[in-house]
Amino acid sequence: MDDLVKGLFNVAFGQREEDERNRDERSRSTWAQVVSGEQDDHDRSSSSSDRHNRHGYNRQAVHQEYERDDDSRQDNYNQVNWNQKDGKKAGDDWETVGKKPAKQHYKAHKDQWSNYKRPLDEQDYSSEVNYDVVIEPSEEELNDLSKALNKLWELDLNRSVPGKDYQIDCGEGKKVYQKEDMAEGSLFSWLSEEIFRRPTFGRFCSLLDNYNPHEGYKENVTPEERQEQAAFIEEISRTAPIKYLHRYLSSKGIASENDQDFKRMITSLWFDLYGRGGTSGSSSAFEHVFVGEIKQRGEQEVSGFHNWLQFYLEEAKGRVNYQGYILPRRRGQIPDSETQLLTIQFEWNGVLKSVSSTLIGVSPEFEVAIYTLCFYLGREENHVELGPYPVNIKCYRLGNKIGSAFPVADC
* Residues forming the active site: 288, 306, 353
Strands 173-174 and 320-326, bridge-based pairing: parallel
CA terminus-to-terminus distance, the chain: 82
| Number of Cα atoms under 13 Å in the Cβ half of residue 207 | 28
Task: Give the three-state DSSP class for 395.
Answer: strand
At 407, phi and psi to the nearest 5?
Answer: -95, 145
Cα gap 56→54, rounded to integer Å:
5
Cα gap 279→217, rounded to integer Å:
7
Radius of gyration of the chain (CA): 26
Cα gap 4→6, rounded to integer Å:
5
DSSP 23-51: HHHHHHHHHHHHHHT---HHHHHHHHHHH
- H or E element at residue 213: none
The answer to whether residues 171 and 182 touch, using CB atoms and an 8 Å cutoff, is yes
The answer to whether residues 84 and 319 touch, using CB atoms and an 8 Å cutoff, is no
